[in-house]
Structures are given as C-alpha cells and as structure tokens.
Amino acid sequence: MASETSLQVTVPDMDCSSCVRAITAAVQGVDPHATVAADLQSKKVVIGGDAQAQQFIEAIREAGFSVTPS
C-alpha cells in the first residue's frame, strides 16, 4: 500500500545519529510502518507514512526537537 503522507521537514537540532533514532522512534510511535530518511548535514527529514503530516510533526516536537518547514 502506498503511503498516505509524504513530507519533508527540517529539524535544526538533529545533531547526531542518536537524534535520528529518537526522531525515528517518535515518527514510528504515530505509524509503526512509517519510513524516515534523515540527512544530518542538511538537517532534512523525509517521512512517509499513514498519518497526517501534522501528527508526525507534533510527535517530533513532543520528542524534544524543533521542526521547521523544509
């Protein structure tokens, strides 16, 4: 099944691979099958999954990271 939502955001304080794991855990707390591709250099995160974009963004914020539009 194709993912309902695909979004790209910037997470400026994503500084290391443990941050990427934390962000992935937050996103997959919303949708366990969501995909997360993160680039530490550009701070960009691409998310695909079956929930609304705002739900993914809120989960990342609740995990302690700021999120800005990409």
Nearer Cβ to a copy of itself (4/62): 62
**14 contributes a contact to a copy of itself by CB under 8 A:** yes
Q: Give the integer Cα–Cα distance in Å for 15 and 33.
A: 24
Q: Give min distance, CB of 29 to a copy of itself, in A.
A: 7
Query: What does the alpha-carbon distance between residue 13 and residue 33 come to, in Å, rounded to a whole number?
Result: 24
Q: Is 4 in the site for a copy of itself (CB under 8 A)?
A: no
Judged by CB under 8 A, the residue of 9, 26, 34, 47 near a copy of itself is 26
Query: Taken in order 10, 53, 30, 1, is the CA torsion positive or negative?
Result: negative
β-partners of residue 45 are 9, 38
Binding site for a copy of itself (CB under 8 A): 13-19, 21-26, 29, 62-65
